[in-house]
Amino acid sequence: MEAPRAGPGALAPWKEMSAEELEKQYSPSRWVIRVEPEEALRTFWEKGTQATNNAQATRRCQLHVPYGDGHGDRMDIYFPGVESEALPFFLFFHGGYWQSGSKDQSAFMVDPLTAQGVAVAVVDYDVAPKGSLDRMVDQATRSVAFVQKRYPHNEGIYLCGHSAGAHLASMVLLASWTEHGVAPNLRGFFLVSGIYDLEPIVPTSNNALLLLTLEDAVRNSPWRRLDAAPAQPSGPACPVLVMVGEHESPEFHRQSWEFCQSLCRGGWKVTFKKLPDVDHFSIIENLAKKDYVVTQIIMKTISQKC
């Protein structure tokens, strides 16, 4: 572990915050120091769109692949140059506070990963207000089941999510696969700048489109669900990397660390990393670089076939 252990039984800091401070804590762009908040948001989506257009123009791909019957049940799959039925698959869930963003703006990591023999699936889901959070969680789970069924000889499925996408990826940790008729070959999770306890979101403006009740928030909070779930079985566990950028709010740091601690208590093989000199947006933008520390960690994890 790379952070000090929090004291047990401490009152969640957000419960003592004013409405204004809580709003700031859960507004990631307000913690960016390199540019103004509006520019950080605008350039993030611009860079994502550019990376996606480049990936579609230069990589072998299948676009708008349906993983279910719903209109939003779509993913783009990008393949390495060498064809094989036994590839590692990297699934990415985009951020956007469950109410913006899409696969068409999120293919940052395609070039460096496909160049190393990894297939990349960038997953869409129905953002609010069209989709409820329960539906988004179901879509994330079904997308993983789909990849396993479509590519049964895969060399491992690795999940990555950013911000709201990290929440969706973390909910997959708790999925019951019996109802999906498949046991996916999950080999690793990369959770980037996520929110794992949704209760603090309920009183903020971020809930205006989500319309989460307290019950909804608790039901869809992996941190709460994990503490109530049975421990991970003994033996080799699927590795989980929980990451947060240096220039993110104290609440994002707290959420990442406390979720990491819950994973530890559940027996998961988990690592916590605070990445220096990055914020909520640059932490994922940099996945376009093959020499970026997170890109290197992802490739090392996949090559080890844990």
Express each pLDDT in 131-154 by its tens digit.
Answer: 999 999 999 999 999 999 999 999
Phi and psi at residue 58, in whole multiples of 5°? Answer: -120, -15
Task: Please determine, for residue 105, whether its predicted confidence score (pLDDT) is greater than 60.
Answer: yes
Longest dimension (CA), the chain: 55
**Tens digit of each residue's pLDDT (9 = 90 or more) over 184-238:** 999 999 999 999 999 999 999 999 999 999 999 999 999 988 866 655 543 346 8
Over residues 272-293, the mean pLDDT reads: 97
Q: Is 247 helix (H, G, I), strand (E, B) or coil?
A: strand
To which H or E segment does residue 210 belong? helix 207-210
Residue 3 has pLDDT above 70, yes or no: no
Q: What is the pLDDT of residue 4?
A: 39
Phi, psi of 276 (to 5 degrees): -75, 150
Question: Which pLDDT score is estimated for 266?
Answer: 85
Cβ neighbours of residue 240 closer than 8 Å, sequence gap 6 or more:
173, 188, 189, 191, 263, 268, 269, 270, 271
Q: List the domains of the chain with CATH numbers.
A: 13-227+238-304 (3.40.50.1820)
The CA-atom distances, in angstroms, between 284 and each of 77, 227, 228 are 19, 28, 31
- Supply the pLDDT for residue 276: 97
In order, the DSSP letters of 67-84 are SSSSTT-EEEEEE-SS--
Q: Which of 5-9, 60-64, 181-185 has the lowest mean pLDDT?
A: 5-9
What confidence score (pLDDT) does residue 13 get?
A: 86
Whether residue 87 is predicted with pLDDT greater than 90 in this model: the reply is yes
Strand boundaries in the chain, DSSP class E: 60-66, 74-79, 89-93, 119-123, 157-162, 186-192, 239-247, 269-279
